[in-house]
Amino acid sequence: MTNFSNAVIPWSPSDAISIPDNVRDAKDIVTFGSATLSARDMTSIVKGFEAGSYEMVSTFVWTKAAAVLKRQVSTLGMEFVGEMLGRPDLNDDSDPATDIGDHEAIALAEDLGMVTTTQALRLKQALQLVAHFSTTTGETDNADEMMEVEALALLRTCITSILGKPQFAAALQFADFRKRLAMSTLTAADSDLSAIANSPYFFVRTTLSILLAAIKTAQGAPLEHAVGNTMVLVPQLWGKLREPEKWQVGQAYAEMTSAGNRIASAGLKKALMEVKGFDFVPESLRSHTFTETAARVLSAHFAFNNFYNEKEPMEALANLGTSIPRPALPKVVEATLAVRLGNRWGVANNAQDAATEVLRLLRPVQWHYYFDECLSRDRTVMDKIAYDDKPAKNWCEVVQAIELGLYQPKSKHVKALLDASRVTPVTVNSIKTVKEKAEKLRSHLAE
């Protein structure tokens, strides 16, 4: 049997690009991006800085970086990308350039160790910056234009995190791990099984996503290995899995049964029967509609001109019904809170009524589920609360409107955040405390 021992350790970025602090001129910084930038690209960037066209050159740099990152992510398989992102609409025929949002590519790259947590944070800030300045009308004064220091910081971030790498070492390590899972079947006695089970939670979740994606797309021997490994791993991991991942297994069974894939459905059925997990098999595919619509909301929120474009998908989400399916709840709440919290520049006023309506529909037990099972891994919400004052203030307003009663969160870090968020009145100092508690919670995101 193939030995997994060299693969079952969490991958981490090993190919970081460093630009010395004393390199501060665009002409010098771009040379560190020669791995992916052509001579023409670098010349265009330098000329953009010399002309003072900081918004234009930053948009060009970001577009290049996002395209490279999506291309690297897509090499892992779009079906797998869909599993990781909770996007049932993605399959191996999907186009990464148009079907993956920039924010989704960043989040997945962080999960898979293609970028560090700090790099991911800076990339999200760069995305926000480009999106914000792309909506200016030309009627603003100089104080509202992008500054050279902001454009240089964005250029440095994109090169050190993405454009300076000819290929991502972590992606290659991960691809090797996926290949090993498809080449042989684990047994309950394998030491590799306990190594996976005792890894950080994001590694467990990623391994499960690999197998479920393979079950949906593989054929022949790779399919048999994927099914066999799932039958072994799911019972071993079930007690450690959080509800969103349990729903993921149940959803895969429902899809394979509907598609008539007997090998896959039989293997998943056996695994679910062993753990008495049929409570997590959706009765219908209604949750797909909620999840896909929520993904549209997030795409609009992180895209250019978001304050105008959030309205339509947010209203569509609010109009889907008054009962949100449990499997779709994490993505629906993430998308709705993204709109409700906004960003450092404010919120989409025309989408607030719809967002408030969705949040109003959530029952206390659904909020408890989100706080216990989803919040600590919700990068979109955690980054907003931890790093920006306006979203943190809006978060306090949301929490204070929820009737928590005697609810006690499972996590002490979630409890600390909720307690800080309920302090009234909301002041500069209380917001600072909320941000500190959120940053502390975010630091435990991988657990």
| 203-219 pLDDT, tens digit each | 788 889 888 988 988 88
Domain limits of the chain? 26-164, 172-280, 286-442
More confidently predicted of 84 and 385: 385
What the block records as the tokens of 333 is: 């709440």
Q: Which residue in this structure is represented by tokens 């603003």?
A: 140
* DSSP assignment letter at 282: -
What residues form DSSP beta bridges with 346?
343
How far is the C-alpha of 208 from the C-alpha of 228, rounded, in Å? Answer: 13
Closest listed residue to residue 361, CA positions, set 401, 390, 394: 401
Tokens of 345: 């520049």
Exposure string over 202-227, b if 16+ CB within 10 A, otherwise e: bbbbbbbbbbbbbbbbbeeebbbbbb
CA–CA distances in Å: residue 384 to residues 113, 257, 299, 403? 21, 39, 16, 22
> Does residue 99 have a pLDDT over 80?
yes
Q: Locate all alpha helices (DSSP H) within 134-168, ordered by sequence.
A: 148-158
Which sign, positive or negative, has the C-alpha torsion 262, 266, 267, 268? positive
pLDDT digits (tens, 9 = 90+) for 36-91: 999 999 999 999 999 999 999 999 999 999 999 999 888 888 888 888 887 878 88
What pLDDT, on a 0 to 100 scale, did the predictor assign at position 1? 42
Residue with tokens 């869909």: 82
Q: 74: closest CA among 175, 181, 212?
A: 175
Q: What pLDDT does 112 receive?
A: 79
Q: Is 343 helix (H, G, I), strand (E, B) or coil?
A: strand
Percent share of the chain, pLDDT over 70 = 91
Tell me which residue has tokens 């072994």. 232
Side-chain-side CA neighbours of 207 within 13 Å: the count stands at 31
Closest to 129 in 3D by CA, of 406, 343, 409: 343
Q: Cα–Cα distance between 445 and 270 in angstroms, integer?
A: 31
Percent of the chain with pLDDT over 90: 59
Could you give the maximum distance between any two Cα atoms of the chain, in Å? 68
Q: For residue 116, what is the DSSP state?
A: -
pLDDT at 115: 87
Q: Transcribe 4-30 into DSSP letters.
A: -TTTSS-----------TT--SHHHHG
Give which of 329, 426, 435 is closest to 387, Cα–Cα. 435
In the structure, what pLDDT confidence band is assigned to residue 15 with cuts at 50, 70 and 90?
low
- Identify residue 94 by its one-letter amino acid code: S
Helix (H) or strand (E) holding 205: helix 201-217
CB 117 within 8 A of CB 321: no
Residue 401 in tokens: 């409107």
For all residues of the chain together, what is the average pLDDT?
Answer: 88
The mean pLDDT of 360-369, rounded to a whole number, is 94
Are 227 and 267 spatial neighbours (Cβ–Cβ below 8 Å)? yes
Q: Are 386 and 445 in contact (CB under 8 A)?
A: no
Return the higher-pLDDT residue of 177 and 318.
318
- Residue 446: its pLDDT value, please? 58
The pLDDT of residue 184: 78
Q: Do residues 407 and 372 lie in contact, with contact meaning Cβ atoms separated by under 8 Å? A: no
Question: For position 172, what pLDDT does the model report?
Answer: 65
Give me the pLDDT at residue 14, please. 55
- pLDDT tens-digit readout, 174-201: 677 777 777 778 777 777 777 777 777 8
Residue 285 clears pLDDT 70, i.e. is over it? no
Instruction: Give me the mean pLDDT over the 422-427 stretch.
Output: 94
Tokens of residue 222, six digits: 């790779």
Torsion of CA 341, 343, 344, 347, to 10 degrees: -70
